[in-house]
Amino acid sequence: MKQFELSTNTSVVADPMTDALANGNNYLTNQACIDLLKESERLRLEAYEGPGMAEPWLIGYGHKTTARLGMTITESEAELLLKNDLVRVESAIQRLVTVDLNNNQFSALACFAYNMGTGNFATSTLLKNLN
């Protein structure tokens, strides 16, 4: 699997969507959800503090896993981080949701889980009511 090196020594998968399909993920988040995430998260190429978070640093389109104070990235690196984050979200949805979904429903859940985090999604009332 080819990887790129970010300016902060953080590796990201070069093509996470292809990897997701190869690993048996049946759904991919649709473009409407991706566009909504990009619009609501707004691209930021320098790490910034998220409101009221235990680990406050975010970068790109709301990426937090590897964001650190002083980190900077390019727009293409932000795209890769978003795709990697969505692959993790998609995997969590497939693992946690026990009912059939169409792609729009799956994508709506992806937007929701992306914003609240997969841990919070796993214990959410939405998920309990859905299943």
What residue type is assigned to position 27 of the chain? Y
Query: Is 41 one of the catalytic residues?
Result: yes
CA distance 122 to 131: 11
34 C-beta neighbours (distance < 10 Å), count: 20
List 41, 49, 55, 75, catalytic entry: 41
DSSP for 55-100?
A: S-EEEETTB-SS--TT-B--HHHHHHHHHHHHHHHHHHHHHH--S-
Task: Give kind and range of the element (H or E) at residue 22.
Answer: helix 16-22
Closest CA to 6 of 66, 54, 89, 53: 66
Q: Which of the residues are catalytic?
A: 41
